[in-house]
Amino acid sequence: MEKYSSALDGVFVALADPTRRAVIRRLGQGPASVGDLAGEAPMTLPSFMKHVRMLESSGLISTSKAGRVRTCELNRNRFGLINDWLGDQKAIWRERTDRLEQFVTKEDKS
Amino acid sequence: MEKYSSALDGVFVALADPTRRAVIRRLGQGPASVGDLAGEAPMTLPSFMKHVRMLESSGLISTSKAGRVRTCELNRNRFGLINDWLGDQKAIWRERTDRLEQFVTKEDKS
DNA sequence: CCCACACTTAACGCAAGGGCTAAGTATTTG
DNA sequence: CAAATACTTAGCCCTTGCGTTAAGTGTGGG
């Protein structure tokens, strides 16, 4: 149970901030430089960079530097982790529902 | 854009901890008392209670007290928030893919 | 070669998260 | 009614998160 644990920690922490979700939303449309991304955020560059690094260490984005510009890109596959977790959770609900139905059926018989 | 912002903050923060995800997993099988839930967590009761309160304030669970026992229950509908957010994100990817295809098609024609 | 540009590093302040112990409250239960 | 049960509150500690300013590094353009 609860495999992917530490990876999920990072992903959920990364998604728990509006600034970072905005970055992810923006990167959904394609890669962008740190400067471009920071332009939309109401904070100084060093502060914004911390968000970028957190997103990168969570695996949700990757970045690379060319010249003096660092470009950020979304790692779409990383979102599979959330999908899977959500799927697992729903599976548990389904099992329970099944057992409840079984229970109801048994009660009906007796 | 980015409606639900503050609600998502709370939900993602709540999910960012293994102890809390374990509680959610357990509650997927049905309601349980704080005591029962705490039994599986490697920490003292007061510490555990903080997790419960955080889960409740995020809206992922609700609790109610009967006598001296507080019972916790999952709010499955709250998970729709994550589903929707994930859906929005995928929609953005799809739009981009569509535009890319359009672009490729145009290039083909010329 | 010098300066502007695009980060990057360092150092700090404050609030919140996650854990603990100790003591308190409110219900049973014997 | 006394004692056990099931939380609850209060207070403390340490780490991490999020923001700041100030100064530094490396590239690119004039």
Q: From the first residue on, what is the mean pLDDT of each consecutive set of 10 residues in chain B (110 residues)?
A: 77 98 97 96 97 98 97 96 94 81 58
Q: For tokens 């419960």, name the residue.
A: B52
Distance of C1' in C14 from CA in A47, Å: 15
Cβ distance of B13 and A8 shorter than 8 Å = no
- Chain A residues 28-87 with Cβ under 7 Å of strand C are 33-36, 38, 45-46, 49, 65, 68-70
Q: What per-residue confidence (pLDDT) applies to B5?
A: 73
User: Band of the pLDDT at A110, cuts 50, 70, 90?
Assistant: very low
- In this predicted structure, the answer to whether residue A98 has a pLDDT above a threshold of 80 is no
Average pLDDT value for chain A: 90
- pLDDT over 90, % of chain A: 78
User: Domain spanning B5-109: which CATH class is it, in words?
Assistant: mainly alpha
Query: pLDDT: is B96 or A72 the higher one?
Result: A72
From the list B1, B96, B16, B98, the residue with the least C-alpha distance to A74 is: B96
**A18-27 and B5-15 helices, crossing angle to 10°:** 100
Q: What is the arrangement of strands in the sheet containing B61-66, beginning at the earlier edge strand?
A: B32-33, B69-74, B61-66
What mean pLDDT comes out for the span A49-74?
A: 97
Instruction: List protein-proximal bases of chain C (any atom < 7 A from a CB).
Output: 5-11, 17-23, 26-28
Token pair belonging to A34: 């740190």
Is some CB atom of chain B closer than 8 A to the CB atom of A40? Answer: no
